[in-house]
Amino acid sequence: MKTSDQIIEEWLVINCQAGDRKAFELLVKRWNPKMLNRMYHTTKDVDATKDIVQDAWVTIIRKIKTQNDPCAFPGWSLRIATNLAISWIRSNQVNRKREDIGKTIQSDFAEKSNSPNEDTLNTLKNAINELSEEQRFVIQLFYQENLSIITIGGLLKLPVGTIKSRLFRGREHLKKILETKLYQDEKE
């Protein structure tokens, strides 16, 4: 048996589908705190949570008329917000990995040479130039242009897996080149 809350929510959804703005405002008033709470537990970031929930409501507004079962609104709306939160987490992890790699490279150079100077930068540029054209291009787009793997894949019309492979192989090759050059410099 349905509770009065469920009946009210279904009624609000049906009226939202009919274009009733007041019903939508009431639906947001009822569900926004729940969505904020659940998305915060997913992201652990207050600002991201607010953005995700706002984006979720924009999607809900656009797609509410396609919702055939008004009683499915709670699961449907939370699924929209959860998918947005998962996308945010994934993109945030990519950015963190990129920052970590950049910090690692910087600290490795700082350890190997007393100060990152023009010689170090030239060594890095020369090492990048020794990569294959495919690897060099992907490395430059990823690190110098700060493009995502997905964007690079779209730009080059290649699958994301291919871009990831080229980036991985390029970094490994670059690491070997730099280790060899640094080892030779230490010998001299």
The predicted model gives 68-97 an average pLDDT of 84
| Residue 180, pLDDT score | 80
pLDDT tens digits, one per residue of 41-60: 888 889 999 999 999 999 99
pLDDT of residue 126: 82
Which among 166, 182, 164, 188 is positioned nearest to 105, based on CA atoms?
A: 182
Q: Global pTM?
A: 0.50
Sign of CA dihedral 28, 34, 38, 44: positive
All structural domains of the chain, each given as residue ranges with its CATH number in brackets, are 4-88 (1.10.1740.10), 113-187 (1.10.10.10)
Q: How far apart are CA 155 and CA 149, in angstroms?
A: 10
Answer for the pair 29, 23: CB distance below 8 angstroms, yes or no. Answer: no
Residue 170 token pair: 């390029």
For 129-159, how does the pLDDT look when each residue is reduced to its tens digit (9 = 90+)? 888 888 888 888 888 777 888 888 888 888 9
Residue with tokens 């294959």: 132
What does pLDDT average to over the chain?
A: 83
What percentage of the chain carries pLDDT values higher than 70? 84
Q: Is the pLDDT of residue 95 over 70?
A: no
pLDDT digits (tens, 9 = 90+) for 162-185: 999 999 998 898 888 888 876 676
